[in-house]
Amino acid sequence: MPDTSIIAKLLERFAQAVYAHDRENPTHTTWGIGMAHFDIERLGLEEGEELLPGIVLQADGGVTGNFRILCDGDHDQGAVQEEEEVVEAVGSEEIAAPVQSPGGAPAVRPPLR
């Protein structure tokens, strides 16, 4: 089992993240914390354990060293809109005149045998 101060700091970060999420997204609430299975075992915690009131720990296959807030809302809407904007920003018009370098293209020669 890791040092008690490490677990205390981790629980404090979880509480801060849950509070920040619920403040920024009042239409849906947090129900869990997602962590990599490796991190859960390394910290001596168990999947499904209630870390904070109403907040359970879930192994979600994410990267080690990070945790994610699990909620009942959909946060991908902004990413889809952003992706659409990027797609629209890509030029689809052809340039009328090709770009030429000064002096022209070098002659094509067959390889030496």
Q: For the chain (length 113 residues), average pLDDT per consecutive 10?
A: 83 92 87 91 91 91 87 65 53 64 71 67
d(CA 29, CA 82): 24
- The dihedral of CA 89, 90, 93, 97: what is its sign? positive
Per-residue pLDDT, 46: 92
Per-residue pLDDT, 61: 80
Global confidence as pTM: 0.61
Per-residue pLDDT, 58: 92
Residue 102 DSSP one-character state:
T
Asked whether 34 and 68 are in contact (CB, 8 A), the reply is yes
Per-residue pLDDT, 75: 61
Residue type, 110: P
